[in-house]
Amino acid sequence: MENSTTTNSNSASQNTDQKNAVLKEICSKWSKFSEQDVAAMKGKTDLVSQVVTKYGLPQIQAQSEVDALLKGRQIGAGA
């Protein structure tokens, strides 16, 4: 049973590390977002909407840039 607990703990740690890495990548690419702004986002759609609003990009361009940055990873509550 101890291995199961250790595995779950390692998995949770890796998930947290991955979320933090994504958050930092987003803040690095779009400097108008604070880490708190990104952490409060509910998902990819929210990020796209915020990129459109804060940077004045067309929706399709913002979607493309977000998709390229996330590379299938998730942000927000569903992550």
pLDDT recorded at residue 30:
97
The structure tokens listed for 59 are 């929706």
pLDDT recorded at residue 34:
92
pLDDT recorded at residue 11:
72
Read off the pTM: 0.79
- Please, what are the averages of pLDDT over each run of 10 residues along the chain (79 residues)? 58 80 95 93 96 98 97 78
| Cβ neighbours for 34, distance < 8 A, ≥ 6 positions apart | 27
pLDDT recorded at residue 48:
98
Provide the greatest CA pair distance for the chain: 53
* Structural domain range at position 9: 2-78
Which one, of 12, 13, 66, 18, lies nearest residue 43 by Cα?
Answer: 66
What is the C-alpha to C-alpha distance for residues 79 and 76, in angstroms, rounded to an integer?
6
- Alpha helix positions (H), 30-58: 35-40, 44-55
pLDDT recorded at residue 70:
95
